[in-house]
Structure formats: structure tokens, C-alpha cells
Chain A
């Protein structure tokens, strides 16, 4: 390691941080780009149905669409409230 490298290593490498942040963000945005257009509507209607039976918040449900060469998956996540309901 040269003297210059020593000084360099004492400073945080902001380019590395930039790259990591971009990789996560771009991957996320690419996934949502390929989501079917009916997804937001589906999420809204599902929420309405679930709220008929369980008291959940707006953000308690998430619908995710994923696809690879093999298959397409639709993932539905509902976070139930802590207190038991009657």
C-alpha cells in the first residue's frame, strides 16, 4: 500500500456509497416498471374487501408483482393488527 492509498483510505469513499444506493434504487424501479397496470386498482379493491372483516390500516397491505423467465408471481402481504379482534 502506498502512502497515497493510506490517506485515501481514511476518507469515506463516496463513489462507493453512490453506487450501492443506485444499484438498490435502479433494481427497485426496474421491477415496478414491469408491473402490470392493474396493480394499484387491485390493491385498492383488495384493501376494501379485507377492511370489511378486519380493521387494518391503508398501508397494512402490499401487493407485489415479480417475474422471471420461469414464472410470474403475485405476492400479497397483510399485516394484521396487534390487538385481538372480536
Chain B
């Protein structure tokens, strides 16, 4: 049986696709057979971040409509043979995804995969609802910023009322917080919400803090999930997150500014 993880946020542009690519690669590198699915119908992007955009032949909607088999549509990652990508369709038809269709595909994937990562689109429309509907775990990606925190809370409300687990009165979806684009320096200056501030409001299990990092853009420029950049802070943050998710106890990093500049040392604090 597979574990289905939805990467969600409500708000757009907070780092869901970056996170989906990173944790899918992280889990696959640990030896777990992992599939990552792009639910952003009409705005396919996961393929670019994963660096397989030129290998897309069939997509999610083709499989739902029976125009291709799952095996034809899944793209095997060139760097890790345990990782497979199911690209989104570029159709403009908003109703291309159906609950039955998505459910059928997830069920079939569950037979052979250990983890299925669902990269949710922004918003609370069909694509986002279907991405979270069948989930066992939810990775709520949040930025330390008012609109993102508020939208995350709304998403939590939807997870606990509109998911399959909620409708069947099964054990609730496990919700985790991934606080991304964190800038400890600005937090210290009182310009940015801190981890504790966000936790006071959302009270979720903190899976990790991902710092604001130039390495994310560099990685996406070249189509390499940032977790493969082992020297980068963001890459290490995602590695920690995967390890914590798998049950390892890993101390949190990237919450405090570690390197103190000359001025900081002079003024002390």
C-alpha cells in the first residue's frame, strides 16, 4: 500500500512544486518507489522543475480518458530509477480531472509504489480539491507572511472536512507544516513572522524550515530538484525534512542566523 502525500498551501507561489520535486527525489533516493503527480491542469510546471519537460508524451488526463496507459504516461527519472513523474495536462478544460478518474489512477499506482506525491495547484478549486481528496498526509507549505498563513489555515479547514478520510469518518489526514522562504535575519529584525509566531496560529507538526535561498532558482534553472544540491542550505533543509518524515529525529536548522557579521558581533545581542 502506498502512502499518498498532498503538497498544498491555498496561496500560490509559496513553493509547492519546489517542495514536491525535492521530497519526491528525497524519498526515491532512500530507495522507496515514488511517483510525483502534477495536479496543476493547464499550468504544467513540475516537468520543468524535474528537468524532464522534453520527455513528456502523455499526461494525467490522457490516462484518465483512457488515451494512454499509466505506464506510457509515467516518466522515469534519469537520475534515480525509483522516481516517476506523471505530468499535468495542458488542456484548458477545467473539468478534465474527475474524482473517479483520479481515484482509479491512485489506486493503481498504490499497488506498486510506496509514496505518491500530489503537487497541488494554488486555490481551492477542483484541481486543489482533487489533489488533497485521497491524501493520507498533507504537507502544508507556508511562507512567513500574513496571506500565506491565512490561506494555510483555510486549507486545513478543507482537509478536515472535504477529504475522503473526513467524509468516511476515518482517521484524519496527518498535517505537517513546512515553513518556506524563511529569512532568520528579517525575523530577528521584527520584519518577518517567526516559526513560533506561525506555530502559535496554525499549531501544526513542524516538519522543517526551508530558508529563502538562491540555490532554489539555480536548481530550477537547470531542472534539478534542489535536494540534489547537497551543499545548499535549501537542499539540506529538504533532506532533513525527508528524514524527519521517515521518523528520524533530526534537530531543526535554518531557524536562527548562524553566521554573525562584524556589525552583529560589535553590537551584540
- Chain A residues within CB distance 8 Å of chain B: 2-5, 8, 11, 13-16, 18-19, 21-23, 25-26, 29-30, 33
Contact = CB atoms under 8 A, between A and B. Distances in A.
B201 interface: yes
B153 A30 contact: yes
Residue among A5, A30, A33 with most chain B CB within 10 A: A33
B157 A30 contact: yes
**Which secondary structure characterizes the binding site on chain B?**
helix
Contact of B190 (A13, A21, A23, A33): A13
A15 B50 CA distance: 35
27 contacts: A2-B269, A3-B267, A4-B264, A4-B268, A5-B269, A8-B190, A11-B190, A15-B187, A15-B193, A15-B194, A18-B145, A18-B146, A18-B197, A19-B197, A19-B200, A21-B146, A22-B149, A22-B193, A22-B201, A26-B149, A26-B150, A26-B153, A26-B201, A29-B150, A30-B157, A33-B157, A33-B161
Given A4-B267, A11-B190, 13 more contacts: A2-B267, A2-B268, A5-B269, A13-B190, A15-B191, A15-B192, A19-B193, A22-B149, A22-B201, A26-B149, A29-B153, A30-B153, A30-B157
B189 interface: yes
Interface residues of B, number: 22
B205 interface: no
